[in-house]
Every structure is written in C-alpha cells, then in structure tokens.
Amino acid sequence: MLIPGHATGEGTDRFRRRFEAKFPGHFREFQGLWLSSIGIGTYLGEPTAAYDALYRESVAEALESGINVIDTAVNYRHQRSERAIAQALAAVFSSGTVQRDEVMISTKGGFLNFDGGEPDDPSEYFQRTLIDPGLFRPEEVVAGCHVMSPKFLENQIDVSRQNLGVETLDLYYIHNPETQASHVAREEFDRRMRAAFAALEKAVGEGKVRMYGTATWNGYRMGLDSHEALSLPDLLRLAEEVGGKDHHFRAIQLPYNLAMPEALSARTQRVNGKAVPVLQVARAHGMLVFASASLLQQKLTESLPEETHTWFPGLAKDAQRAIQFVRSTPGITSALVGMSRREHVVENLSTAERPPLNLEQFRAIFNP
C-alpha cells in the first residue's frame, strides 16, 4: 500500500518550527514550501545490503534531525537507494516523528537501470523488460543508456513510486537530458523534450507527481556553443507550449560547489540577447534550484585553502565550510550532500547551527 499525501506548505512549516531555534536560517520558503538548506543525497555506495542498511539509518537520522529534502534516482545503486529510502520513510512515518506532508521527495528517470543488481546478460534484460513491452524503440536510446520517451518516463515514475512506497512524488526530474542533446539534432531534441514534458504534465494531472524538472551535470554549465548546452529559457518555452502558463516545470538541479561555481559565475544562458548565468534565469522564473555535488564526491572535505577559514567563521571542518558556501548562495534552494552514514548526517547538519552568510559576507568571498 502506497503512502498517500505530498509535501505541503502547512506540513513543511510545521517541520520548520520544530527546528528553527537550533538552526537559524536553515529553512527557506520556495513556492509555498519550507525546505531545509541541506538535503540528503543517495548516489554513492555499492549496491549491497550493507549500504542499504546504512542509507536506511542515515535517511531516518536526517528526517528526525532537521532535513526535509530527499534526493535520489531510480538508477542509483540499481534501484536500491529508492528502496532503502522507502524503509526509512515507513519507519519515521509510522512512529509519528515525521509526517508525509513535511517532506519533499525527489527522484529522477532517464537512464536505463537494473533491478537490484547487474544481470548476467544486460542486453537480454533490457530487451525483455523494456523493449518487448514497448516502453521505447531502440532508436530512442542514445549513448547506449539514456531514454526519455513518454512511455518510458511513465513507467519509471510508477517504478519509483513503488520503490519509494509513496503515491505522489513531490519532484520528478528528467535525468541528464543533455545526454540526448549531444547525440541528436537540436530540432529532434526539442521534439523529445516537448513529448517528455507532456508526459510529466499528464503525471501531474494524475496525482503521481507534483512538479517536475531537469537534473543535469553539464547541461547548464557548458558554454552556449557546446553540444551539451541546455537553454533554460528554451525549455521553459517548451513547457509552456505543452502545459500553458501554469506548467509544472519548476525546478532544476546542477552541480555547484567551491570548485564548480558555474551556476553563479558562467554566462551560459541567453536572455533578450544578453548572456547570463543560469541562476539568474531560474530566480527570474521563481524556480527551485538544487545544488548537487556540494562536496564534489568528498573532494572538498579536506585541504581547502587557509583563507576559507575566514570566509566561514564558526565552522571547524572543511566539509562544513564547503556546505556553507553552497547554502549561502543567493538563489540556491538546498545544498544536496550524499550521506550514507549517520555520523555524516550529524556532522554535516551541524553546519546549519550557524546561519548562512549574509549577502555582504558572501560577496566578500569573490571581492576580498
């Protein structure tokens, strides 16, 4: 039985009030939802029962300690991350410590994925489970791994709902659509995106999804002449074509951290003939922006330059300083941090005991 409900303004505000005294400035309101400035990611780790148990513990710890943003994807650890999250959700919801309407649950689809582990014959597995049932045609696959046909996305949404044990996904991303952009002509890419958005609007209408977005790696960071470049204004136009002015394309995700600041600094988007950073476009449209790789797969957890100590007063560890940079950036909704261990949740969340940098402090990083 799937858990009903979804994140609401009332629920997320209730969650915020429980923790606001301990974590000043940790929750910000976006599109009527109060969301934690740090979210838990579930990408890293082997597809094993041992890591399943670790994620169950860390997700439960996060929810009970002041994080109400969960990020995952159907292909993470061969669907095991979603299933581990489901067990954590069931535990905290049944105990009454957290309620469904207090939590934003986000997942992604687009990559071909296995069911729990890699089969002996991947080609036979995909033929039997995906192609034979008519979820996509072989010519719709690019790079041997990526599909965003409407039937495939509809299937993946249902798979994720079952894996996560919830009736409604708060946010569903097309995962790395730039993979398609780099393999097909731009006109064909636009056609595929338009069809994908139409499928997602349909899922919203059916109550399976509340809003949708694009989760990228290179798409919004690359120069305008790159084959992988994505134009957020163009994607918003496509969403409006299929969903009207009240369309539900309301979020983006991209890597952003001390070593990869392009979301803020690189002028990768064109608006009225002017090149601007993607954060500027997202802010202008009131979009949620989730920063992935806040710690760059643990590379920013140690050996940061000494000067960073002065930028982030009151924080003792480099991981906390790196998180503080991301969550202090204007326009960033939440800094996503992969946390497969309970102790990592405790340490990373302690960053929020200090308020985010104010605008003057943040600007001083770039103009000392």
Per the structure block, which two tokens stand in for 334? 């939440």
Average of pLDDT values for 214-222?
Answer: 97
Asked if pLDDT for residue 317 goes beyond 80, the answer is yes
Asked if pLDDT for residue 356 goes beyond 70, the answer is yes
Its pTM surpasses 0.95? yes
Q: Which residues contact residue 153 at a Cβ distance below 8 angstroms, ignoring those fewer than 6 apart? A: 109, 110, 174, 196, 199, 200, 203
Q: What is the DSSP letter of 257?
A: B
| CA 138 – CA 116 distance, rounded (Å) | 23
| CA 323 – CA 336 distance, rounded (Å) | 9
Model confidence at 301, in pLDDT bands (50, 70, 90)? confident
| CA 136 – CA 26 distance, rounded (Å) | 42
Average of pLDDT values for 320-325?
Answer: 97
Average of pLDDT values for 196-213?
Answer: 98
Distance from chain centroid for Cα 349: 18
Q: Are 68 and 38 in contact (CB under 8 A)?
A: no
| CA 103 – CA 105 distance, rounded (Å) | 6
User: What sign has the CA pseudo-torsion 45, 47, 49, 53?
Assistant: positive
| CA 253 – CA 213 distance, rounded (Å) | 8
Q: Which residues contact residue 225 at a Cβ distance below 8 angstroms, ignoring those fewer than 6 apart? A: none
Per the structure block, which two tokens stand in for 290? 């989730």
Percentage of residues of the chain with pLDDT beyond 90 = 95
Q: Which CATH class is domain 9-366?
A: alpha beta
Environment class of residue 230 by beta-carbon count within 10 Å: exposed (0-12), middle (13-18) or buried (19+)?
buried
Identify the residue whose tokens are 């990768």: 268
Q: Which residues contact residue 245 at a Cβ distance below 8 angstroms, ignoring those fewer than 6 apart? A: none
Identify the residue whose tokens are 């299929």: 242
Backbone φ and ψ for 111, nearest 5 degrees, come out as -95, 140
Q: Which residues contact residue 128 at a Cβ distance below 8 angstroms, ignoring those fewer than 6 apart? A: none
Give the Å distances, CA to CA, from 228 to 213, 274, 279: 17, 20, 18
| CA 303 – CA 309 distance, rounded (Å) | 11
Per the structure block, which two tokens stand in for 53? 């148990």
Asked if pLDDT for residue 368 goes beyond 70, the answer is no
pLDDT per residue as tens digits for the range 275-285:
999 999 999 99
Higher pLDDT, 173 or 308: 173
pLDDT per residue as tens digits for the range 34-79:
999 999 999 999 999 999 999 999 999 999 999 999 999 999 999 9
pLDDT per residue as tens digits for the range 235-283:
999 999 999 999 999 999 999 999 999 999 999 999 999 999 999 999 9
User: What number of residues does the chain have?
Assistant: 368
The pLDDT value recorded for residue 315 is 95
* Bridge partners for 107 per DSSP: 172
User: How many CB atoms are located within 10 Å of the residue 92 CB?
Assistant: 20
Mean pLDDT is lowest, of 212-221, 290-299, 351-360, for: 290-299
Classified as helix, coil or strand, 138 is helix
The candidate with the shortest Cα–Cα distance to 47, out of 111, 129, 115, 123, is 115
The candidate with the shortest Cα–Cα distance to 357, out of 289, 293, 291, 310, is 310
